[in-house]
Structure 1
């Protein structure tokens, strides 16, 4: 596969080796293959790893399928995929409620990953999971379209450079915006659940913004500083405002869990464009 990137205007001047190793996180083994095969060009000319690159340069890499290991993914149904954004390296889709993000067993093929794999199959590409949503939660999910960009997106996730805003509908009236800072741990009595655990739990911070009060419910936006399992669900339930339709953390029934990953912001790893992507129509 050939990848060509035009270095953005704010690109720092550095060597090609530094670009591949420190910014693009190309594994050492793959860098070795690229160098031995002379598979890197700068401005359509064969490049040396000690060569300097700068803003506006065109960098082309030719990567063989064998350079990266691949975990086969069974193909699902491409028509299940609702694309919010796509380019040569990324695809962001709107996950339906009730669908798992990825398989837990080798023979599964009805998850979002399977369906995105079917969508990308005509391009001879395979999706790679960057993050996940609970089965009961809908909304934006980001996949890498190749193994080359995957470690960059993983680093962005770790460094909190992927901004995600969720919509939720909760029971009761929340009068003002607030930040919930409560540690979350496993429920010793139910392996499916998480609980507030001040002593042994992991740090968890959720920022809650009130959008609208209506009767017995409140529409809120939530932004996470951390990414604990069920974090929004546990935090909102802990302040007496569980999410409507939550099958684990409240008793009242509703058609679905009213939690939706509505918005994602990120700076594109290669173009440095600021992307703002929405999963429409949302919950309200």
Structure 2
């Protein structure tokens, strides 16, 4: 399943569907006499595909005169067909589902949460239930009146970190406009393969990989503009700890850009290098993550109502912190820092000493054509 990172730019409303079972009855007209049940039903109920109707017959959701019969059953006319209409999984996608949510800020307009790795943001094929959207509807039922339960941007399933959710249509509209204007600042921290040589800007077009439709890729034309600013925080023997700020928000943007730059993210099953040199301890830490080492660390936006600039940070999750601890230990770095909080505080302070404005970049552009 391809989890989309693109910023939302539309406001299509939705409402949770009623899950109560619906039955419909038809009397078989004489002109359908002699037809098989599946063929006759396709004529009686043209709004559903024949394959779906056949599946319902096989699953005993269709009766003829009160009896279950096979799809090939021949009708003689005058029978009563009853169908228990089955909702698609997609029609159940917006059902509230209670789940723990790490809400770090909330008011009447917005809420900010720290999404764990493994949680799909929005329902889609293969993930109709158990998504963040389902959890938001359970946490705040009023979000059923807001398009996409207030979600305005996404993270990949296996990317952890900060997201902002709008609690009103007006707030969602304002946040979408900020995303379109590229004034929402989203900063990620990640572990990349190899030694990233310098800070810089990656600017390419990103589109669907023509050789593998479940992946995205840098393309020479026809894609969407994608810009990522990369800053190196620490370098180790075979890996680098980096910070990436998104200027745009394309599907898998950081993962694709780092792969294109020759430094895919550690643990990335889709874009990574499974043969990346590493010690047994580092390999074990990467395997234990079971995901790409990518975390949405900092989020900054203008509050839709108060117009106040708000900034939030979410500490590294335990799995990425453990990987970095192993890398630091093997590199003989700063053994006096023993806790995640101490380390996060030091790195956070160092990072904020530098201004992320574009003018401060050395205009080192990494551009690789595939």
> How does the TM-score come out when normalised to structure 1?
0.70
Aligned partners of 1:113 and 1:184: how far apart in 2? 26
Match of 2:218 in 1: 196
Per the TM alignment, residue 202 of structure 1 is displaced from its structure 2 partner at its CA by: 2.4
Aligned partners of 2:316 and 2:240: how far apart in 1? 18
Per the TM alignment, residue 171 of structure 1 is displaced from its structure 2 partner at its CA by: 0.7
Match of 2:95 in 1: 74
* 1:140-219 map, 5 Å: 140-219=162-241
Matched, 1:258 2:293: yes
Aligned partners of 1:163 and 1:75: how far apart in 2? 30
SS at match of 2:224: coil
* 1:34-53 map, 5 Å: none
Aligned partners of 1:106 and 1:120: how far apart in 2? 25
Aligned partners of 2:133 and 2:204: how far apart in 1? 32
Aligned partners of 2:232 and 2:217: how far apart in 1? 24
CA shift digits 1:12-32 (9 cap, x unpaired): xxxxxxxxxxxxxxx9xxxxx
CA shift digits 1:108-127 (9 cap, x unpaired): 23001111221113xx4443
Aligned partners of 1:118 and 1:78: how far apart in 2? 8
Per the TM alignment, residue 142 of structure 1 is displaced from its structure 2 partner at its CA by: 1.4
As a proportion of its length, which structure holds more strand? 1
Aligned partners of 1:106 and 1:128: how far apart in 2? 22
Alpha-carbon spacing, 1:154–1:175, altered in 2? closer, same or farther (3 Å): same
Question: For the Cα contact (< 8 Å) 1:99–1:111, is it kept in 2?
Answer: yes
Aligned partners of 1:229 and 1:107: how far apart in 2? 17
SS at match of 1:219: strand
Match of 2:310 in 1: 275
Q: 2:261 aligns with which of 233, 239, 251?
A: 239
Per the TM alignment, residue 176 of structure 1 is displaced from its structure 2 partner at its CA by: 1.6
Alpha-carbon spacing, 1:215–1:128, altered in 2? closer, same or farther (3 Å): same
CA shift digits 1:132-166 (9 cap, x unpaired): 11112111111111223221111111111211001
Question: For the Cα contact (< 8 Å) 2:185–2:247, is it kept in 1?
Answer: no
As a proportion of its length, which structure holds more helix? 2
Question: For the Cα contact (< 8 Å) 1:74–1:108, is it kept in 2?
Answer: no
Question: For the Cα contact (< 8 Å) 2:184–2:300, is it kept in 1?
Answer: yes
Matched, 1:248 2:270: yes
Aligned partners of 1:210 and 1:268: how far apart in 2? 30
Per the TM alignment, residue 130 of structure 1 is displaced from its structure 2 partner at its CA by: 0.6
Aligned partners of 2:168 and 2:248: how far apart in 1? 26
Aligned partners of 1:107 and 1:276: how far apart in 2? 31
How many positions carry a matched residue from both structures? Answer: 215
CA shift digits 1:79-120 (9 cap, x unpaired): 2x1012111110111111121111125992300111122111
Aligned partners of 1:202 and 1:148: how far apart in 2? 27
Question: For the Cα contact (< 8 Å) 2:117–2:158, is it kept in 1?
Answer: yes
Aligned partners of 1:267 and 1:181: how far apart in 2? 26
Question: For the Cα contact (< 8 Å) 1:183–1:204, is it kept in 2?
Answer: yes
SS at match of 2:262: coil
